[in-house]
Structure 1
Amino acid sequence: MAHPRGMPPELLGASPEGDGADVPELPDPLEGYHFRPGRRGPRTTLKSEMVPVIAEWLARTGVLRIAAAKAGTTEDCLGKWLSRGKDAAARRKSSIYTELLTACEEAWAHRFAHLIELGERTVTDRHMNPRFVTWLMSVTGPKHFTVPREQAAQVQGNGLGPAFELVTPEAAAASVHAKLMRFLEEDDKRNGTEPPAPAEPSPASADSPAEEPEESR
């Protein structure tokens, strides 16, 4: 593997005065890649020889797209094959799709067991950084390795409801009136006084006719 050209030696870990012999080599992104010509499209039919290839790369990377590409197909086709395997397994039938499903489940189990082991090593090995392992587990397996976030509780204002409400002017006026009456009732209870009852007309005053004004007499 060669060093990247044009990069200062101090960025590679060597001193500017040194010859750079102790500089660690960067990984080559093209290492192990070989272009295979002659393919006009992806494979759309699952074959038995594709199952171990998919399982191996799924155990190595944990990514369906990579495993599908290494087997010469696409992630969509691989997803459809796995869905057929789940349906067949639910009906207790065996086929090449259930074979693929079982192989992928074992590969996933191996992959995540490896990541969990690496995470446990970071507890005792101070030279290991757990950030990449925890990030990778949360991205590739969010259902099992991500803590769901709970919505923050809405702050209430002294038990009188939310601080802000989107309401119509009529509803806002009715709400303000109800809150004001509730506040007055609570204030009267704290002061030990009862709210004044509305005055009711007496029966005598209701039956007696009203007095005429002096100008009409």
Structure 2
Amino acid sequence: MAGKDESKEASWYTQFVDIPADVKSAGNDQVKEVVVEVSLNGKSLKIFTRQADPQGSATNVDVLFLHGQSFTSENWLDIGTLSLVSSWGHRGVAVDLPGYGSTKDVIDDGSHGAFLGALVKALKMTRPVVVSPSMSGGFSLPFLFDQPETAEDRSRGYLPVAPVATSKYTEAYSKSKIPTMIVYGENDTNLGTRSLKDLIKLPNSKPFVIPEAGHAAYMNNPPFFHRLLYNFLNIIAAYK
């Protein structure tokens, strides 16, 4: 299951387990479409989100799902991720980033990190775990690593899936201890391998390869991705 750097043991890492058979999806009926207003640089932005509140015994883990260039929040609905996260007791929110899907408002490129911080505030999320595929690295990386020493004040954990722009922060990674699960598809020889080379410099990171998957690895092999996510979120819930 682990990636090429098998010897790297992040402090958060423990042996993984299968998702228990009695843990059932809450179903997409639990997922609500909510437009939230985000204040950024004196402007009010209308941002489309899909939200799933925790079911059963709730944890204190919030999870923010971003998306790639050709995708939207709907992908996390289609593969059942939001309903599963809800069934596991976590709060899950997937967002249509500015200019994508049902979010028509746009922002300047230089505001991506600040936008994510403002979105987290508007959603009333507490240090959410950030799941960030591909293009959304342009949002998650500045949000976390423009000030790497305090990344854990903004997020309890980071799960990048072959994100863009990783080379911009190579000097910042060593300054952050944020728990990071690096995920990429075994057939993604472009962004997957390039982003791994950079992200492995995060001291508290560990890589995982999704078999039989390309760049959108979570969509190519959802069961394997969900097992990774299940374990990471459970560990984060207990991680000190």
Q: TM-score, normalised by structure 2?
A: 0.23
Whose radius of gyration is greater, 1 or 2?
1
Q: TM-score, normalised by structure 1?
A: 0.25
When you count strand as a share of all residues, which structure comes out higher? Answer: 2
Larger RCO (alpha carbons 8 Å, 6+ apart): 2
When you count helix as a share of all residues, which structure comes out higher? Answer: 1
